[in-house]
């Protein structure tokens, strides 16, 4: 039984997601369709990339991931399929996948299979779902498209650092309003070298890395490295994004003592 995941910015109301699932089941009645999320902010590819990057390896090899975010059809739009690390990915050529993988995938194809709907008004249903069915039935990448070298690349935000400071940016805000930054623990440890530090969060200092949210009292700021390996700053039992106005793209400065 093929596992097909869905990640979209279509929301959970309306008929859009159901239409995509119907197209899959029509071609593959025994498909195991798993919803990752349909609550990505419309057109927000960086949020989708963050979620896919952190979850896809938890699925078995052979899983097919449809990522329909910022997938509106236009005369110049392309849909691509990627095979890497034993997984398949299908989505628009908008640079999203360049933020998912640490290393460029070897197999990238532009989808060219014949479509049933010549208007192509609904890319996720008319192209992506059909592509997933073909792959699930054993089609090779060459059967569904042509090799594509010039797929769109986006530049991921990287921390800016020197011997005394690190400036890191919010890359994702979760459902609780917790803010996740583009700072890995290895870099924090390498720059910090065990020195005392202060994180300036909208003029609110944080001077400790905690292990859990409950290491601080309710309503207090907490910083920790999550399962994704990235720095997270939150308010225990509160919404830091709403209370302090932190949003994706905002940065904080970490200063280490000399």
pLDDT digits (tens, 9 = 90+) for 163-211: 999 999 999 999 999 999 999 999 999 999 999 999 999 999 999 999 9
Give me the helices (H) in the chain, please. 16-27, 45-55, 123, 129-136, 141-144, 185-192, 240-244
Query: For the segment 23-71, what is each residue's pLDDT rounded down to a tens digit?
Result: 999 999 999 999 999 999 999 999 999 999 999 999 999 999 999 999 8
Fold match between domain 3-147 and domain 160-256: no
Question: Are residues 181 and 230 in contact, defined by beta-carbon separation less than 8 angstroms?
Answer: yes
Domain range list for the chain:
3-147, 160-256
For position 117, what pLDDT does the model report? Answer: 59
d(CA 212, CA 223): 9
Per-residue pLDDT of 87-112, as tens digits, reads 999 999 999 999 999 888 989 999 99
Q: Are 53 and 32 in contact (CB under 8 A)?
A: no
3-state secondary structure of 84: strand
pTM: 0.88
Please tell me the distance from the alpha carbon of residue 218 to that of residue 18, in angstroms, as a whole number.
40
Q: What is the mean pLDDT of residues 132-148?
A: 95
The CATH fold assigned to 160-256 is Elongation Factor Tu (Ef-tu); domain 3 (2.40.30)
Res. 75 pLDDT band, cuts 50 70 90: low
What was the pLDDT predicted at 116? Answer: 65
Please tell me the class of the 3-147 domain.
alpha beta
């Amino acid at each position: 039984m093929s596992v097909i995941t869905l990640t979209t910015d279509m929301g959970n109301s309306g008929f859009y997601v159901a239409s995509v699932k119907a197209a899959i089941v029509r071609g593959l009645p025994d498909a195991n369709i798993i919803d990752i999320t349909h609550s990505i902010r419309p057109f927000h590819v960086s949020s989708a990339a963050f979620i896919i990057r952190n979850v896809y390896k938890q699925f078995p090899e052979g899983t097919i991931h449809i990522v329909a975010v910022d997938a509106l059809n236009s005369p110049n739009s392309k849909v691509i399929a990627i095979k890497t690390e034993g997984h398949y990915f299908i989505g628009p050529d908008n640079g999203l996948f360049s933020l998912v993988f640490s290393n460029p995938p070897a197999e990238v194809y532009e989808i060219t299979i014949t479509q049933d709907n010549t208007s192509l008004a609904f890319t996720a249903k008319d192209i992506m779902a059909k592509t997933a069915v073909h792959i699930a039935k054993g089609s090779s990448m060459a059967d569904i498209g042509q090799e594509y070298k010039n797929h769109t690349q986006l530049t991921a935000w990287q921390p800016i650092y020197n011997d005394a400071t690190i400036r890191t940016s919010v890359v994702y805000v979760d459902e609780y309003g917790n803010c996740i930054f583009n700072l890995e623990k290895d870099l924090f440890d390498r720059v910090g070298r065990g020195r005392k530090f202060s994180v300036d969060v909208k003029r609110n200092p944080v001077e400790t890395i905690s292990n859990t949210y409950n290491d601080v009292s309710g309503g207090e700021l907490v910083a920790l490295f999550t399962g994704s390996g990235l720095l997270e700053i939150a308010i225990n039992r509160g919404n830091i994004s709403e209370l302090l106005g932190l949003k994706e793209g905002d940065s904080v400065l970490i200063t280490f003592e000399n």
